Amino acid sequence: MGHIREYYERIIKLQESEWEFIASHFERKVFAKNEIITRQGETENFLSFVETGIVRFYIPDVENELTFNFSFDKEFTCAYDSFLTQTPSEYELQALTETVVWQISFDDLQKVYAQTKVGNYLGRFASEKLFLAKSKRELSLLKYNAKERYLRLFSEQPDILKFIPLKFVASYIGITPQGLSRIRRQIT
């Protein structure tokens, strides 16, 4: 749980009583490599902090899965739209490696918001960060061609290229694996 506190304290200093109250609502869970964390059609009930591991967000399809996001160590993750609205998720979250998370349920998070001022502040900060990342990705898909998206990904998020299979990287930047192979040949 120390990683969550470090994450929070980069934003705001916590009183010990606030931290103890917040920490008491988190539970540790381990997901095996390739295990589905959230299934399409299920309502997301947990906000998770990734202690270690990699989580992939994708739309399952028998012929052509669409990968659209990843979460890494020391980040919050979940099917956030499903979590906020308490409606079924339209996509899945998968552990690409063994993944250790600390989870807080929707109901417990509401208690944290209601009973701590700092909880509301931290929730707003996390929401704003998720919104900015989503906006940046959408603009990238609209503004840059595939080669530019790949090069930007390479410079801005090198972990994706180190640890993620290329077929998922290709889907993430909106091209086929063959298209990604052509781009990689052009720049090497």
Average pLDDT, 10 consecutive residues per value, the chain (188 residues): 86 89 96 98 96 96 86 92 96 97 96 90 84 89 93 85 90 92 89
21 and 113 share one domain: yes
Cα separation, 50 vs 107, whole angstroms: 20
- pLDDT at residue number 77: 93
Neighbours of 104 (CB within 10 A): 24
111 and 188 share one domain: no
30 and 66 share one domain: yes
Alpha carbon distance, N-terminus to C-terminus of the chain: 42
- Residues contacting 185, CB < 8 A, separation 6+: none
Cα separation, 91 vs 66, whole angstroms: 9
- pLDDT at residue number 12: 85
- pLDDT at residue number 98: 97
129 and 173 share one domain: no
Helix (H) or strand (E) holding 5: helix 2-9
- pLDDT at residue number 70: 93
Q: Please say which residue of 118, 140, 162 terminates a domain.
A: 140
- pLDDT at residue number 61: 84
